[in-house]
Every structure is written in structure tokens, then in C-alpha cells.
Amino acid sequence: MAINRLASALRTLGVLTGSLAANSAFAGWGELNMTRGVTPISQQQYDLHMIVFWICVAIGIVVFGAIIYSVINHRRSQGAEAAQFHENTTVEVLWTVVPIVILVAVAIPATSTLLSLEDTSDADMTVQITGYQWKWKYDYLGEDLSFFSNLSQESRDGIKADPYAVENYLLDVDKPLVLPVKKKVRFVMTSADVIHAWWVPELGVKQDTIPGFINDSWAYIEEPGVYRGQCAELCGKDHGFMPIVVIAKTEPEYNQWVADQKAAAAAAAASADREWSKQELMAKGEEVYNSACASCHQANGQGIPGVFPGMVGSSYTTGPVEDHIDIVVNGKPGTAMQAFGEQLTAAEVAAVVTYERNAWGIDTGDVIQPTAIAANK
């Protein structure tokens, strides 16, 4: 009887917690443990995590149980007389040897997981991941396909407004990394500036991207879906604002996506050939400025004194146009100023340079056409 009642109580509790988890306002309370993920590696990691966790719980019960027993039964207020023993070789050997045995038992599965985690051989395809302050670049090696992935504008707008109004706040990007399922995908990683770390919990991949060096890792995604992650190594001001989104698709859908991307890239290249109006350039320029430049130079063009120079009062925005285009396209080595030539299309560079020379009261009146950039790039 008692068991029945307990079982029904547990069921009720399960329904309750389930409904709590379903209610988005309470979703956070259920976030207690590591995700099991969608790759063989992430699942092995989860299993190992739980094994070590339960070992710790067991040891904790013994140790804390002994403390609680002493605290209750060996207290002076209960009239306990202190024994005077202060060593016992048998016990001391035992509690040295038993932990060693437990550790060896943990080390065996840990070793095999580590070896498979590090085995990047025989991959079906390779994606190069490059960390930038504060965005990711993905190159599909051998595919002539490459793009940057930034924090989505909706998330950026939500930072100072209402984060709860934004779906996947801070975990959404403008262009996600798309990968096929059931393929061994190898990632080679590097960085253009400081050290970042590419982490997607459900893939079980976390690897530092290091300037001047190449690291690798891999994932075999078993189910289609959207998997979100973040940069996991402090990389400066906007470290918290460079999420990762991986969309896993079936192979035919993936192939279709690749074809679509190539067509879109060709269309963008074509737009560089036509003449743009100043109005068009200013509108596009503001958009580009806010996504690519504002995190350092600030939306009001003032920069952050001592860290990031402002646009207003700078010799670049009022001096010769060539120098301005040059620093945008090629960056300034040894500083946080990146070479945007590879991140932005010719039209985008033209638009942002036009914008920077005509916004915040700078008003040089200069209009830069995409064709002029294409010639310089």
C-alpha cells in the first residue's frame, strides 16, 4: 500500500516538474545537468560524468555520514569521553589503497573516451573555424564556400531592452553553420586575433582557437536539429556575445543548402558592379557599421577612450579616402582593428566607408562606389 502511494506521489511530482519545465517562465529551474548531446562523444562524456558523479555521491555519503554520526554520538554534551587513539596502520593503508583502485576504475573508460575524442582521422569533410573578436568565420574546405557568423540583430537589440522578448537570446546568429548528419565532420580551428574557444555542448566539442596555430576536433551528428553554443575563452569586451549555431540537416537538404549559398554569393558579387545612390549606401552602411564596427567604435562613433579610437575626430574619417578604405580593408596589424576586406563584400565596404564619412556630423560629402572598392581589394 505504502509503495503504491509513494509511486503515485512520485508520478504526480514527475508531472509537476514536467509541466514546470514546459512552462517557459520556469524553464531555468530544470537546467541542472549536462546535456547528453547528439554525438557519440558527447554521450560518452555524459555517461562518464554521471559515473564520476555517483562515485562522488557514494564517497560523500560515507564521509559526511561518519561526520554526522560523530557529531551526534560523540559530543561532550552527551557525556562522551574522548578516546586517545591517534593512528591505525590498517585503516590508513585501506583509505589510501581503496581510492587508488577507484581512480584506476575511472581512468580506464576516461582513457578510451579521450582517445576517440582526439581521433580526427578518416573525416568525410572538413570545416575551418576561425575566431575573430567577436564573431566566427566558417570555411568549407574544398567547397569554395565561406562566411562570417555574427550575433543576430534581434539579440543585440534585446541587450538593453527585454531579453525575454527575444527568442534564443544571445544564442542566435545571422548565418549558422550548416552541417550534414551522419558524417564525420572534422573541424580545424585557428584565430585571427586572441584566443577563443569554439564550444557546442550537444556536439561535445570545445576547442581553443589560437592565433598562429591550428587545432582540430570532430563531430558525428546523429540527429538533424539546431544546436547552440558560445565562445568559451575570455576574448575581450564582447566575449559573451559571440554565439555559435549549428544546424544539422539530412544530406540532400545539406547539398541543396550548399548550392543556394553559392548562388547567393554570386548575386552579391554582381551587385558590386552597379552604381549605388548615396541614400542606399548610407542605409546599408549604417546596418554594416552596427553589426561589424559598433561593438568597438560604438554606435555614436565616439569609441571608448584609451581602448578603441572614435570615428569622430579621427584623421581616417576626414583625411584621404584611400587611407580610410585601406584601414577598413586591410586592418591595422598589431591592434584589434581587423582586416574587414575578407569579411565584407565590396558593396558593404563602400557603404560603411560612405557612412563613416557622413555620419555623426562628420559630413565630408564623399560617396564611395562598390566598383572603387572592388578595384582596391
Q: Which three cell numbers stand for residue 41?
A: 562523444
* Residues with Cβ within 8 Å of residue 16, at least 6 apart in sequence: none
Q: Which helix (H) or strand (E) holds 130?
A: strand 125-132
Quote the CA–CA distance of 249 and 260 in Å, as a whole number: 14
Cβ closest to another protein, residue 246 vs residue 351: 246
Query: What 3-state DSSP class applies to 190?
Result: strand
Distance of closest approach, residue 19 Cβ to another protein, in angstroms: 16
Name the grid cell of 32. 541542472
CA distance 204 to 235: 21
CB of 371 to another protein, least distance (A): 33
Task: Give every strand in the sheet of 205-209, ordered side by side.
Answer: 177-180, 244-249, 225-231, 196-200, 205-209
Q: How far apart are alpha carbons 342 and 359 in whole angstroms?
A: 24
- 190 dihedral zone (left: phi>0; alpha: psi -120 to 50; beta): beta
Which residue, 171 or 265, is less far from another protein as judged by CB?
Answer: 171
Residue labelled with grid coordinates 552527551: 78
C-beta of 310 vs 366, nearer to another protein: 310
Question: What is the closest distance, in whole angstroms, from the C-beta atom of residue 225 to another protein in the complex?
Answer: 15
- Quick one: 207 or 369, whose CB is closer to another protein? 207
Minimum distance between the CB of residue 349 and another protein, rounded to whole angstroms? Answer: 24
Cα–Cα dist 363/352, whole Å: 14
Report yes or no: 355 and 286 within 8 Å, Cβ to Cβ. yes
Class of residue 274 by CB neighbours under 10 A (exposed 0-12, middle 13-18, buried 19+): exposed
> What's the min distance (Å) between Cβ of 188 and another protein?
11
| H/E stretch holding 265 | helix 251-271
Distance of closest approach, residue 164 Cβ to another protein, in angstroms: 6
Smallest gap from Cβ 86 to another protein, in A, equals 4
Do β-strands 135-140 and 125-132 pair in parallel, antiparallel, or remain unpaired? antiparallel
Q: How far apart are CA 119 and CA 186, in angstroms?
A: 10
C-alpha cell at 326: 585601406
Shortest CB 124 distance to another protein, Å = 22
Q: How far is the CB of 304 from another protein (least distance, A)?
A: 7
| 163 vs 319 by CB, closer to another protein | 163
Taking the least distance from each CB to another protein, the nearer of 109 and 224 is 109
Angle at 309 between CA 324 and CA 213, to 5 degrees: 80
| Between 103 and 270, CB nearer to another protein | 103
Q: Which is nearer to another protein, 28 or 365 (CB)?
A: 28
